[in-house]
Amino acid sequence: MTIRIVASLTRRLAAACLLSAFAFSSALAGYPERPITLVVPYPPGGAADTLGRILAHHMTKQMPGATFVVENRAGAGTAIGAGAVARAAADGYTLLISSNTTFTLNPALKPSLPYDPLKSFEALGIVGEIPLVLIANAKTPVNSVQELVALAKREPGKLSYGSFGYGTTAHFAGEMFKAAADVDILHVPYNGSSPAMKDLLANQIPIAVDTNVPVVPQVEAGTIKALAVTSARRLPALPNVPTFAEAGYPTVDLTSWIAIVTPRGLPAPVRDTLVKAMAAATQTGKADLEKAGLTVRFEEPSAYDARVGKELPAMRALAQKANMKAP
């Protein structure tokens, strides 16, 4: 009797497993069956929002029948949007596009966040990076990094540099430069790139760190001077501007890299579908992405874990050395 009961239960469990597996397989085969939300943790109109909309448009073309909805969930330095995605179901219907501000800089400054960059997320890939540029007002009496360092050492504490916000890549890059050159320059955080550029043009601040998007037109117009770029390579739009490594400071190497991630635990077939679509979208949308300021360089999902694993401890060490506190 006992043997028959056990056998019957075993058959029922096996049947249930088969039905469950069939239902799961059928659900995956129909993916996507509803709109896919791409969360942008910034307000509308910014660089991340523009890039997100371009990628969503081109990913739609790669996934016949799919619909992508871009949702702006700004606040708390991207933590609100990132936290919402971290809590979402790992089913392929909620994605996050953001920069290393979310993935390495916030965690370097803030001990408590509603997400963990490695435990909460898995990446579909990295789409590229937005380089940063050290710039000077046209009247600032320096034309190179070396001249700026010499001036800062002659007048310690008298110079200031602007950034587009406390705890941003521009702020971290500025502190990275100060540490490498061992100079005392005051950080002046602004609420965005536009007011910082406005004060730089008005000679209210002598130098600043900003992305290539607002910098290139001003350099071409001769209203500001570009001293160095923070990327490993020179920028095609600024071919005569050296990298920090070429200027003698190889440790100054930081860009805003952009990744699309999902809640960790995505089913492999869904992940493969999205990764393939994203990789193709970076190519079909390359011209549009580059026009928006992105240096397109797709990297496989594993590159995300590698970047976070290397950059996060480095940013924590820099924040501690520069006495940077959570805003």
Q: Which CATH superfamily is domain 34-130+256-321 in?
A: Bordetella uptake gene, domain 1 (3.40.190.150)
Confidence at residue 28, expressed as pLDDT on a 0 to 100 scale: 52
Confidence at residue 176, expressed as pLDDT on a 0 to 100 scale: 97
For residue 279, which of 125, 128, 60, 53 has the smallest C-alpha distance? Answer: 125
Q: What is the value of pTM for the model shown? A: 0.85
**Residue written as tokens 């996507």?**
32
Among 28-32, 134-138, 167-171, 230-234, the minimum mean pLDDT is found in: 28-32
Please tell me whether the peptide bond between 32 and the residue prior to it is cis, using omega within 30 degrees of 0.
yes
DSSP 243: B
**Residue written as tokens 């579908």?**
273
d(CA 70, CA 56): 7
Residues 6+ apart with CB under 8 A from 213: 47, 130, 193, 292, 293
Confidence at residue 11, expressed as pLDDT on a 0 to 100 scale: 54
> For the purposes of burial, counting CB atoms within 10 Å of the CB of 199, is it exposed (0-12), middle (13-18) or buried (19 or more)?
middle
Confidence at residue 4, expressed as pLDDT on a 0 to 100 scale: 52
Q: pLDDT digits over 301-314, tens only? A: 999 999 999 999 99
Q: Where are the domains of the chain?
A: 34-130+256-321, 132-229
Confidence at residue 20, expressed as pLDDT on a 0 to 100 scale: 39
- Residue 327 pLDDT > 80: no
d(CA 160, CA 185): 5
- Residue 5 pLDDT > 50: no
Q: pLDDT digits over 259-293, tens only? A: 999 999 999 999 999 999 999 999 999 999 999 99
What is the dotted CATH code of the domain comprising 132-229? 3.40.190.10
Element (H, E) at 322: none
Element (H, E) at 297: strand 295-299
d(CA 66, CA 12): 37
Confidence at residue 304, expressed as pLDDT on a 0 to 100 scale: 98
Q: pLDDT digits over 16-64, tens only? A: 444 434 434 444 568 999 999 999 998 888 888 999 999 999 999 999 9
